Amino acid sequence: MANQLDPHILIIYGASGDLAQRKLIPAVFDLYRGGYLPEKFALLGASRTDYTDEAFREKVLFENEFMQDKGYDEEQLKAFSKLLFYQDLKAYDGPEDAKKLKAKLEKLGKRFGTGSNYIFYLSTPPKLYSSIPKALAEVGLNKPENGWSRLVVEKPFGYNEESAKQLNEELQSVFRENDIYRIDHYLGKETVQNLLVTRFANGFFEPLWNRNYIQSVQITAAETVGVGSRGGYYDESGALRDMIQNHLLQVLAHVAMEPPIRADAYSIRGEKMKLFQSLREIKGDEVANYVVRGQYDAGTTKEGDVEAYRDAEGVPDDSMTETYVAMKFFIDNWRWAGVPFFIRTGKCLPLKVTEVVITFKNPPQAIFAGYDDYAMKCDNQLIMRIQPDEGMAMEFGMKVPGEGFRVKNVDMDFFYRDLTTKDVPESYSRLLLDCMKGDPTLYARGDSVEQAWAFVDPILKAWENNEAPLARYTAGTWGPEEADRLWDGITGASWRNPAESLTEDKHYTKL
């Protein structure tokens, strides 16, 4: 398996930072344990901190709490540590530092036989996303002779449509589009990927996946935590930028895109782009009717007592930044004409859960309505749980044993953990492996990123101009009551109240 990958060196800019230690280094080690890395491989950490190779290994492997929490084998860690090296940089984008980095890479390339194949991972502040690639280009590391060079860029990819276009232009001036990997860890989750298989590999789903049979689609991404000590950073972003523009619109694309010709990067990403182009614009004067923004007040969640968002460190007393967004919108194409889509996301909600709910239309005639009110509800649902307890469930009505035709909802469910004896791979491991293979299928393409921004920009501008109110909600609840009004006019339908599992306690939330 390892021999199928080209030899290469993975360079992590910002290697002493939180993301590298929490996600990236453990993800690469998981690939090492699984035998996925090429036989000729090295990892070079680069940051401003002054470390030796040995000190870097100690910090990110042996003293890293995120490695220790997983109970990794000490001998495997020692063997893996021999593949890790470090280069200190005074300035990430300085010309002299780029020369030092190139010299180190050439030395490691000869030692490990990796040649001039490089993956540059930018785990840095966004302001460096354009300047670091330019510095690499000045010393020829963007297009090495007799090798390849790939660039991985973390979110946020721009702050609005204009900045996203500018960043694309700057990156594409020094790297080819096919060599730019805009990472979204949501797309590395097994359930998100399985949305395509569920739809396009099963004859009993695909014929129903349209306006004729589906009443509505809802996507929920809920967090129980608040902003904590990251208030200053979060206040510059907000839930719409932080979650919807990237993560949840990408999930939406998997749910609603047209069938690709083939299961390859070009075909799948092309269909995603068409889907984003079909999103009906929510204009400024419509925002208040279709989008609800909220901000949490003090309350109690599963994490304990939570102070109000405006009382968090770094947050202004008069902050209008949203910690919750719920929206209703439409997709103007043949498949989805007239079907309402709903997205909600927020902090300090009752459960940490991400799921997609497909609600099917009721039968045309309610012949059992005389026995109970079941037939008046839209209770036939397909629930795809992205996290936690990744899996799927189908809800449908069955007759209750006994006299008459009383109907009750029952479930058929499936958990991914039942499909394999191995651990379900972490999203960063999967995405890094795809980049090593040169497969950008699960990475966002530049034009689709711009199109996603084009959809959310009018909403952001309306909020900036105070054309829509900021609602309040108590921490530990499912958000402001105003979000329920988005469902007005749809008989028997509402937000699904997620539970702690796919099959138990569906109609209330345990705290």
Are 383 and 393 within 8 A, CB to CB?
yes
Q: Which of 462, 494, 149 is nearest to 292 (CA)?
A: 462
Are 435 and 181 within 8 A, CB to CB?
yes
Phi, psi at residue 445, to the nearest 5°? -85, 150
From residue 87, give the alpha-carbon distance in Å to each of 21, 47, 508: 16, 7, 53
Strands (E), 367-415: 381-387, 391-399, 407-415
Are 311 and 298 within 8 A, CB to CB?
yes
From residue 255, give the alpha-carbon distance in Å to each of 189, 210, 392: 14, 11, 14
> Which listed residue (8, 185, 247, 254) is catalytic?
247
Residue with tokens 């209008």: 320
Give 146-183 as a DSSP string: TS-EEEEEPSP--SSHHHHHHHHHHHHTTS-GGGEEE-
Give the C-alpha separation, 314 to 235, whole Å: 8
Phi, psi at residue 114, to the nearest 5°? -90, -10
Active site residue 247: yes
From residue 181, give the alpha-carbon distance in Å to each of 21, 38, 143, 291, 448: 20, 20, 16, 31, 13
Give the C-alpha separation, 317 to 351, whole Å: 27
Catalytic residue numbers, as ranges = 247
